[in-house]
C-alpha cells in the first residue's frame, strides 16, 4: 500500500529533524513525504531542504501565511497546499505534525490494520508527552478518537469525507463524516508516538472560543455541547475551558456561523454522540 505523508510545519526547527528521521527509519517507509513550511521565521525550511537533498522521497513546499497559530484553519490550509503537489497514486494519506517521534513499526502497523479490514477508513495511535523524565499518555481525548497530530486515511474514505475542513474541529468532523459514510475508525493503543511539544503551546489567546464554535458548526446542539465541554475541561483539568466553550458556542449561534455539515449529517452526528454517551454510562 503506497503511503503519502503531509507535514505542515511552522517554526519547528527544534523538532522537524527528529520527526523526519523517525519516518525515514520506518520498517516500511512512506513513498512520499511533503513538508509545508508555513511561513517559518526560524531554520525549519533549511533543515527540511538538507533532508530533501539526501532523500528524494522528501520534498519542501514553502507557503506564506499569517504567523499566529490558530487551531484548524492554518494547519488545514497548509495541508491542502501540500496535497495539491501530490499525484493520486496512493492508498494511504497521512497528516502528521512536525514535532513527533514515531516508533519504527508505526507505518507498518498502520498498513496492517488497513489490509486486515477493508471497512477501516482511518487509523492512528496515541501521543505521549514527557513529564518528570517519563513518557506518559497525553490525555486530551477519549481512546476512540485519533488525534489531529497523527491522522492516517484510506484513500476512498478521504475522498468520501471531502478532505479536511478548514476549521477548528476538523479532526473530529472527519471521523464523524467517515462514520456517516459507513467507515470504521481504528485506534491502536500499542502505537505510542512521542509528542515533543504538548498540544496548544502555540495557540493564541484569541483561539480559546473556537472549540465551542466548532461544536455549534458541527450541529451538536446545546445539550451535547455542554456535556462535551465539561468532558474537555475535565481532561484538561481547567474549568475555564468549559466556560470558553459555552461562550464560543453562543457567539457562533448569535453570529449564525456557517455549519460544517448538512442537516442529515448533523442528525447522524447527534444520534451517534448520544449513542456513545449511553454506551459509556450503561
Torsion of CA 42, 33, 150, 208, to 10 degrees: 40
260 and 147 share one domain: no
**218 within 8 A of 266, measured Cβ to Cβ:** yes
Please report whether residue 201 resides in a domain: no
Q: Is there a single domain that holds both residue 86 and residue 159?
A: yes
In a domain, 45, yes or no: yes
Domain shared by 172 and 61, yes or no:
yes
- Counted domains in the chain: 2
* 58-72, 147-161, 209-223, range with the lowest pLDDT: 58-72
Q: Are residues 228 and 251 in the same domain?
A: yes
Which residues form the domain of 258?
208-281
- Of all residues in the chain, what percent carry a pLDDT higher than 70? 93
Asked whether residue 215 falls in the same domain as residue 128, the answer is no
- In tens, the pLDDT along 32-62 reads 999 999 999 999 999 999 999 999 999 999 9
Q: Are residues 174 and 74 in the same domain?
A: yes
Q: What is the pLDDT of residue 200?
A: 54
Query: In this structure, is residue 85 part of a structural domain?
Result: yes
Among 153, 168, 195, the domain boundary falls at 195
Domain co-membership, 64 together with 130: yes
Per-residue pLDDT, 206: 55
Residue 203 has pLDDT above 60, yes or no: no
Amino acid at each position: 500500500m503506497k503511503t503519502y505523508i503531509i507535514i505542515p510545519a511552522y517554526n519547528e526547527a527544534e523538532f522537524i529533524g527528529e520527526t523526519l528521521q523517525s519516518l525515514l527509519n520506518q520498517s516500511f517507509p512512506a513513498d512520499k513525504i511533503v513538508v509545508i513550511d508555513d511561513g517559518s521565521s526560524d531554520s525549519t525550511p533549511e533543515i527540511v531542504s538538507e533532508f530533501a537533498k539526501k532523500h528524494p522521497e522528501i520534498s519542501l513546499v514553502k507557503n506564506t501565511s499569517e504567523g499566529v497559530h490558530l487551531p484548524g484553519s492554518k494547519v488545514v490550509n497548509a495541508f491542502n497546499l501540500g496535497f495539491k503537489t501530490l499525484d493520486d497514486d496512493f492508498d494511504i494519506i497521512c497528516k502528521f505534525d512536525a514535532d513527533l517521534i514515531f516508533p519504527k513499526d508505526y507505518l507498518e502497523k498502520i498498513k496492517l490494520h488497513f489490509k486486515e479490514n477493508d471497512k477501516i477508513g482511518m487509523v492512528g495511535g496515541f501521543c505521549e508527552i514527557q513529564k518528570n523524565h517519563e513518557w506518559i499518555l497525553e490525555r486530551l481525548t477519549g481512546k476512540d478518537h485519533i488525534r489531529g497530530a497523527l491522522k492516517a486515511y484510506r484513500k476512498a474514505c478521504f475522498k468520501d469525507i471531502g478532505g479536511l475542513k478548514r476549521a477548528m474541529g476538523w479532526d473530529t468532523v472527519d471521523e464523524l463524516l467517515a462514520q456517516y459514510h459507513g467507515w470504521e475508525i481504528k485506534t491502536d493503543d500499542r502505537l505510542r508516538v512521542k509528542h515533543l511539544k504538548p498540544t496548544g503551546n502555540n495557540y493564541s489567546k484569541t483561539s480559546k472560543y473556537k472549540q465551542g464554535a466548532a461544536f455549534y458548526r458541527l450541529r451538536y446542539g446545546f445539550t451535547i455541547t455542554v456535556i462535551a465541554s465539561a468532558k474537555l475541561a475535565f481532561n484538561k483539568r481547567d474549568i475555564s475551558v468549559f466556560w470558553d466553550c459555552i461562550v464560543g458556542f453562543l457567539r457562533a449561534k448569535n453570529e449564525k456561523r456557517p455549519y460544517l455539515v448538512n442537516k442529515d449529517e448533523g442528525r447522524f452526528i447527534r444520534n451517534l454522540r448520544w449513542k456513545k454517551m449511553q454506551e459509556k454510562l450503561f
